[in-house]
Amino acid sequence: MNLKSNTLRTPEQAFQGLSDYPFEANYMQVDGMRMHYLDEGKNSNKVIFLFHGQPSWSYLYRHMIPLLVNAGYRVIAPDLIGFGKSDKPVSSDSHTYADQVKWMRSFVQQLGIKHAAAFFQDWGGMIGLRVLAQEPQWLDRLVVSNTALAEMSGLEKFMVPKILKLLAAFAGKPSLEKFAANINYGNWAGYFRHAGQLQIGQIIQTLTTRELSSAEMLAYDAPFPTAEYYAAPRKMPEIVASELDAVNADWSKLKQWHKPVLTLFSDKDPFLADQGYDKKFQNNFKGAQGQPHKTIENASHFLQEDQSPQLASLLISWLQQTRF
């Protein structure tokens, strides 16, 4: 598959010998770019999608995938464009929220799978939920975890984007140490905008409760061998509250989607814990009513690293309870 102009592809040798990542690579052409995805347990007709966010990739799900496959599911875990083994546009202008939704919608449409289940975390939810709004037959079950989808009107819609820009500006050029000492949106956005070298593995470690090995942290660094590859992780913090008209329109569609929804949020997520984001999903989705929502204990933002066996077990039992 040829490389699109103004686009990079991480050399395959960067991914050699990854810790606990024995999966076969699959690729699909999306908007002239190569999107990577894992597709395990292909003999099953019960499909689970696993969506990652920023700055991670499908490596985040390496411990959950075998457990789900052993339980009889086909598991599909794509890498967002700009991340993992997927192609990476060089210009930050190429990484809009709308583009990420478009690319992932194309991926879903090309696969042609309907009535599946999905687990969305971080930007995986912000992107995946909008794809679901536009492709309502795609999923019959949904788990949302440590994610949010802006729905704003009036003064809030006017002010929030401006406030986030100010927070990032006031943070200056925070080091990784400053971010770790004071985890907030401003330091997050400031770090990704200004750091000469993004220490992705260390960032993942900062947002987990489990101690990662050096090999695991190197695996998170692998997709980004030089600063040329950073456009997507640099840009995403800046577009959290963007395209609000389109997001509001997708929320109105999502409220008509009545299939079962489960929330699994962490107790130690420095961004989202105790902020009511899980309740927003529970209140807005009719299919979330009466479900066994759970707070995952001793888990930070990247709860897939902290509590993989528990997450897989909860996902499997819930799918069985809801006759998926």
Q: Cite the active site residues.
A: 122, 269, 301
247 touches 149 (CB < 8 A): yes
For residue 270, the 8-state DSSP code is: T
Residue 285: name the closest of 146, 149, 98, 157 by CA. Answer: 149
Residues in a beta bridge with 143: 119, 262
Residue type, 274: D
Rounded (to 5) percent helix, strand, coil in the chain = 45, 15, 40
Cα 322 from Cα 143, distance rounded (Å) = 12
Burial pattern 257-280, b for ≥16 Cβ within 10 A else e, equals bebbbbbbbbebbebbbeeebbeb
116 touches 232 (CB < 8 A): no
